[in-house]
Chains A and B, each alone.
Chain A
Amino acid sequence: MIEKTQIIINKLGLHARAAAKLSHLANMFNANIYLIYNEDKVNAKSLLGILTLAASVGNEIILQASGDDEQEAITAISDLFNRKFDEES
C-alpha cells in the first residue's frame, strides 16, 4: 500500500465534474484507491463518495492505493489534481 499527500489546487475543489473525472480515472486501475480527508475515507472509484468529502481548494487530502498497479494509479491521480482537472487554463 502506498500513500501520497495531495493539495487541492483547482479553484472549485472536488466538485461534480472534477469528481467525475477522478472516479473515471480511478476505475481504470485494478488497485483499491481511497481518498482520505480529515477523518473521512472514501472510495476514489465512487463519484458520489468523492462528493461527500466536500473538499475545497487548499485542502490537503491523502491518496491511498493498494494493488498491482498502485504506483501508476497514484501517479496518474496526482497528475490529474496537479493539472487542476484540466478545467483551468
Chain B
Amino acid sequence: MIKSLIITHGNLGHELIQVAEKILEQKLAIKAIAFDWQGDGSDMIAQLEKFIADNKGHKIVIFTDMFGGSPSNIATRFINKNVEVLSGINLPGLLKFFCYEEKSKNFMETIKIVEQGAIEGINIISEYLGEKK
C-alpha cells in the first residue's frame, strides 16, 4: 500500500481530503499538513521527517498544491526511490489516487496515472463540449 500525504499552503489539503471523503463516502488514509504562514518551514520539515520515519518500508507519495511553492520545495528535498512528490494536486487527481491505488502494483505507474487524472480534470468546458459535439 502506498502511503500518502498532502502538504499545502493553508488548509487547502484538509479541505480537499474532506471533499474527497464526502464524494467517496469513506474515510481516506491520507494525512494533511498545512504550511505555517508565520514559520520558516521547519515545522513542516519535522512533520515530514516523522511521517517518512513512521512509514519506513512503504512507498510514499507527497501531494503538494503548487510546483515552486514552499510546501512543494520542502517536499522535494525528501525525494528518493521510495518517496515521490506530485505537485498541483486537485480533486480529480486525489479521487483518481484513491480509486486506483488499491489495484495498482507499481508505484511510479500509479503516480503517473494520478498526474494524468489531475491534468485531464482541467478543461475549458465550452471547448470540451464543443469537441464532443
Contact = CB atoms under 8 A, between A and B. Distances in A.
Contacts, number: 29
Interface residues of B, number: 13
A61 B106 CA distance: 34
Contacts of A16: 23, 95
Contact of B132 (A17, A39, A46): A39
A48 B129 contact: no
B120 A40 contact: no
A41 to B, nearest CB: 12
A16 B92 CA distance: 10
B129 A54 contact: yes
Given A23-B99, A40-B132, A48 B22 contact: no
A20 interface: yes
B71 interface: no
Interface residues of A, number: 15
A89 interface: no
Given A16-B23, A17-B23, A17-B25, A47 B132 contact: no
B121 interface: yes
Contacts of B120: 48, 52
B106 to A, nearest CB: 18
A20 B121 contact: no
Given A20-B95, A21-B25, A39-B132, 17 more contacts: A17-B23, A17-B25, A20-B24, A20-B25, A24-B24, A38-B132, A40-B132, A46-B99, A47-B95, A47-B96, A47-B99, A48-B95, A48-B117, A48-B120, A48-B121, A52-B120, A54-B129
